Chain A
Amino acid sequence: MKLLVVEDEPMLLEAIGKKLEKEKIQVLLADSAKKGFKFLTSEKKLPDAIWLDYYLKDLTGLDFVIELKKNKKWADIPIIVVSNSASTEKVNSMLALGVNKYLLKANFRLEDIIKEVSNLIKTNEKDTCR
């Protein structure tokens, strides 16, 4: 399993990184949208899923997803938004853009989020196989 995590808060990024490492999950840690796109373009193997925050240094999660969906190669990567800002408006527009899941950061333990991501990847794989 390979994940791209886009999170501008270094402490949170670090925690996520450590936890995924412990769980033996390959992870690309990006503290900005720009870095995220860099990974996507540079990496030979695309990540199985993207863990995305809403507010980023350089872009909003919304803009990131819009950019992502523009590229055919990346458009099918499942996205899970983990943000502390989850107004209905934001959630609905993200889901409308094709985001698979929107979680409120403070309400979830890392383990639970990882479980959600794994499930997401599994369903996505099933869908793709079909």
Chain B
Amino acid sequence: MIKKISFFKSVFLLFGFIIIISGTIITLNIAKNTKKNITTNLLHFSESVAAAINPQRVKTLTASSLDNNNPDNIRINQQLQQVQTYLKTQGIRWSYLVFQKNNQFLFSASSISSDDPGYSKPGDIYKDPPLELKKVFQDQQSIVSQPYQDEWGEFVSAFIPIKDFSTGELLAVIGFDIDYQYIQSQVNHQIISPIISTIFIFIFYLIISFLIFRQLNQTDALRESEERFRLAVNAAIDPVIMMNQEGNITLWNKAAEKTYGYSQKEALGKSLHHLIIPSQKYNIDHSINLKSFKQTGQSPVFGKILELETISKTGKIIPIELSVALIKTKNETSAFGIIRDISIRKEHERLLIQKTNSLKEEKEKTEVLLSSIGDGVLAIDQNFKITYANNVAQKLLGWTSKELIGKDVYDNITVKDGTNKTIAKKKRALSLAVKSGKTISSSIINPVYYVRKDKSKFPVAITASPVKLNGKFSGAIDVFRDITHEIEVDKMKNEFISLASHQLRTPLSAIKWYTEMLLNGDAGNLGPEQSNFIGNISISNQRMIELVNTLLNISRIESGRIIIDPKPTDLKELISNVVGEFKSKIKEKNQKIIININPNLKKVNCDPKLIFEVYKNLISNAIKYSPKKGEIQIFVSSDKDSVISQITDNGYGILKKDQSKVFTKFYRGENILKIETEGTGLGLYLIKSIVESSGGKIWFKSEENKGTTFWFKLPLKGVNQQKGEVSINN
């Protein structure tokens, strides 16, 4: 297209040039012809004037002052002057007679009056005459000169010879001077119209060309824009369609092809409605709108974004978002639509709704759950504002949910300690939980108190947990319960233990002491059988005492009130003390005991009383559940962060089926029940509790009739102190 335009431009320039050149040539021609005509006319006219002059009179002239009084001269002068008026209209200024004498040109009669500055007396020499004058004298032929300049102006002259009729002798030449300016003005007069015509034609040509170019450019721009539009429409990711007033498709881009499966060929000219809009769904709507569009070129959908379902060639329902615009050109009115396939969005929306519903359900469930549990629950947002309080929380605190929600939990719920002092914000379980990111529970042993709306207080067990959303703190949950009753029960339990220990042990002490005295012979010597019986009573009584002790220990450990009082402990010494207690037993069973303790082992920070109990139980078991001549090994080693003790025997072992129940309260292995009747089934339970409350771990490996190995490890960094109320074995 652009090539075409530049071609047109060249043609245009060429034609313009031709017009100008032609105009110029025509004008010049006209100028030339005009000049020629004028000179020809001048010649003819001059010849006819010359013919009227009588050569006989000329013959009498002398071209000297003598002529002044010559009647012929006067006559010729009159004759010339008479025609002068007429001559003037022909542009002739002067007419005169010239004689040639002695190679000089001399004036004689003339039309010029004597008062004219251009007047020359008869006999005056014609200085610097035009060349043609001479030529006339030579050729004796009329001639018109080229324009020439003299002191009087610029002239063109016609020279006519005057001859003697009878002899044909050249007498004189008559000259007619015509103002060149006159000729020029005539020429100008003649050429003005061709110049104007040329200009007009050129201007007309320019206008026509301009119009043509504009049209060409417009067509070109239109084509360009159409091309661009077509490319853009086809490149569009979204389907772009257009529908004429008949409801037929006039535009169907590539994306539309892809989305709906109809090619452009298939789609163009078809009814949009029938092609992609399911009739049963939008029939009425579409018909009304289309009717309105047909009649008025307007539709309520223009400028709007519609959401509707469409159908593809394969029958797939495609939910779309359709933005419709009215496009009006000179010739037609169309509806232009951009379609966005919103299947994915719809699917997301569906999932979102599903999720929202399940969340709602979940929330309902949670609400029911929270309102039906027996503990108070407060939910707090990241600004520590209460966002939820369940029924129990409202009841316990005396505040209604309305009064609590949106309030700062620290400002509205005061926490006090046992001495009625308000606990500082940063020391409250909630703060600690948020700070540490862990669940924090308050202890029942040293309870804290919540203050109710009416300023009364009640002891609570608090479990505060931070809530993290995507790893970011977003609030906290405070679960609490009134532990007034628990404290009472705990107190009663402690009193019971204390009392029971006292009450149970008193008769046991009496039995112990009296059997001791009997066996000692304090009440006289006993027979062998009596001695045996009393001995049995004493042993049974001792077992009873130990059972009570163990039960009390367990009860204390379970209550969580056990004191753990770690001090640097030499395990070697501790173990040798334990082994010392069993010396007679070992001797009795003829068992071998091997102790191997890492000599570099430093003192371990643990509660010696508790750890003594662990070793005592494990070593006692090893002795008890190994046959005579058995071998017991005790190893103590340490790794990077813990001390590991190992107690191995080559005894009866633990049956596979019993192994999972070894640490269960009152459980005793089936195989050893028959061999060793003495035992409570409490020892391993107790020491597991001790090891675990010391931050350690206990485990074992055993095979029937091959032996058992127990390991337990304690943290090398030391056991944490626990402030309790009781210790074991009291």
Q: Which residues of A contact B (CB under 8 A)?
A: 9, 11-12, 15-16, 18-19, 22, 54-55, 83-89, 91, 104-107, 109-111
Q: CB distance A104 to B510 under 8 Å? A: no
Give complex CA distance A11, B3 in Å: 136
Q: How many A-B residue pairs have CB under 8 A?
A: 69
A-B contact pairs, 24 of them (CB 8 A): A12-B506, A12-B509, A12-B510, A16-B513, A18-B517, A19-B517, A19-B522, A54-B502, A55-B502, A84-B502, A84-B504, A84-B506, A84-B509, A85-B730, A86-B730, A87-B725, A88-B730, A89-B726, A104-B729, A106-B505, A106-B548, A106-B549, A109-B513, A111-B516
Q: CB distance B498 to A12 under 8 Å? A: no
Say whether B555 faces chain A, with CB atoms less than 8 Å apart: no
Give complex CA distance A22, B524 in Å: 12
Closest 10 CB pairs of A and B: A84-B505, A86-B730, A106-B505, A85-B502, A15-B513, A105-B509, A84-B502, A106-B545, A88-B727, A11-B510
Across the interface, which residues of B come within 8 angstroms of A15, CB to CB?
510, 513-514, 517
Q: Shortest CB–CB separation between residue B11 and chain A, in angstroms?
A: 122
Q: CB distance A88 to B729 under 8 Å? A: no
Q: CB distance B498 to A18 under 8 Å? A: no
Q: Shortest CB–CB separation between residue A69 and chain B, in angstroms?
A: 23
Across the interface, which residues of A come within 8 angstroms of B549, CB to CB?
106-107
Contact string against A for B residues 686-730, beta-carbon threshold 8 Å, 1 for contact and 0 otherwise: 000000000000000000000000000000000000000111011
- Who on chain B is nearest to A15 by CB? B513
Give complex CA distance A12, B513 in Å: 8
Q: CB distance A87 to B522 under 8 Å? A: no
Q: How many residues of B contact A (CB 8 A)?
A: 25
Say whether B26 faces chain A, with CB atoms less than 8 Å apart: no
Q: Which residues of B contact A (CB under 8 A)?
A: 498, 501-502, 504-506, 508-510, 512-514, 516-517, 520, 522, 545, 548-549, 563, 725-727, 729-730
The interface residues of chain B, by DSSP majority, are classed as helix
Q: CB distance B501 to A84 under 8 Å? A: yes
Q: CB distance B730 to A104 under 8 Å? A: yes
- Who on chain B is nearest to A88 by CB? B727
Q: Shortest CB–CB separation between residue A19 and chain B, in angstroms?
A: 6
Q: CB distance A110 to B517 under 8 Å? A: yes
Across the interface, which residues of A come within 8 angstroms of B510, CB to CB?
9, 11-12, 15
Of A54, A104, A109, which contacts B516 at CB under 8 A? A109
Q: CB distance B506 to A9 under 8 Å? A: yes
Of B502, B514, B545, B727, which contacts A107 at CB under 8 A? B545
Across the interface, which residues of B come within 8 angstroms of A18, CB to CB?
517, 522
The interface residues of chain A, by DSSP majority, are classed as helix
Give complex CA distance A89, B516 in Å: 30
Give complex CA distance A89, B32 in Å: 150
Q: Shortest CB–CB separation between residue A125 and chain B, in angstroms?
A: 27
Of B505, B522, B725, which contacts A105 at CB under 8 A? B505
Across the interface, which residues of A come within 8 angstroms of B727, CB to CB?
88
Give complex CA distance A83, B514 in Å: 17
Q: Shortest CB–CB separation between residue B657 and chain A, in angstroms?
A: 37
Across the interface, which residues of A come within 8 angstroms of B501, CB to CB?
84-85
Q: CB distance A106 to B514 under 8 Å? A: no
Q: CB distance B498 to A85 under 8 Å? A: yes
Q: Shortest CB–CB separation between residue A74 and chain B, in angstroms?
A: 26
Across the interface, which residues of B come within 8 angstroms of A54, CB to CB?
502
- Who on chain A is nearest to B556 by CB? A87
Interface contacts beyond A15-B514, A106-B545: sample of 4 additional A-B pairs, CB < 8 Å, sorted by A: A54-B502, A84-B502, A88-B726, A106-B512
Q: Shortest CB–CB separation between residue B547 and chain A, in angstroms?
A: 11
- Who on chain A is nearest to B522 by CB? A22
Across the interface, which residues of A come within 8 angstroms of B726, CB to CB?
87-89
Give complex CA distance A86, B556 in Å: 13
Across the interface, which residues of A come within 8 angstroms of B520, CB to CB?
111
Of A19, A87, A106, which contacts B508 at CB under 8 A? A106
Across the interface, which residues of B come within 8 angstroms of A107, CB to CB?
545, 549, 729
Give complex CA distance A54, B509 in Å: 14
Give complex CA distance A104, B508 in Å: 12
- Who on chain A is nearest to B563 by CB? A88
Across the interface, which residues of A come within 8 angstroms of B517, CB to CB?
15, 18-19, 22, 110
Across the interface, which residues of A come within 8 angstroms of B506, CB to CB?
9, 12, 84, 105
Q: Shortest CB–CB separation between residue A43 and chain B, in angstroms?
A: 25
Across the interface, which residues of B come within 8 angstroms of A22, CB to CB?
517, 522
Q: Shortest CB–CB separation between residue B420 and chain A, in angstroms?
A: 23
Q: Shortest CB–CB separation between residue A3 and chain B, in angstroms?
A: 16
Q: Shortest CB–CB separation between residue B541 and chain A, in angstroms?
A: 9
Q: CB distance B548 to A91 under 8 Å? A: no
Give complex CA distance A77, B315 in Å: 109
Q: Shortest CB–CB separation between residue A108 and chain B, in angstroms?
A: 8
Most buried by B among A11, A18, A87, A106: A106
Q: CB distance A110 to B516 under 8 Å? A: yes
Give complex CA distance A69, B506 in Å: 27
Give complex CA distance A17, B696 in Å: 48
- Who on chain B is nearest to A54 by CB? B502
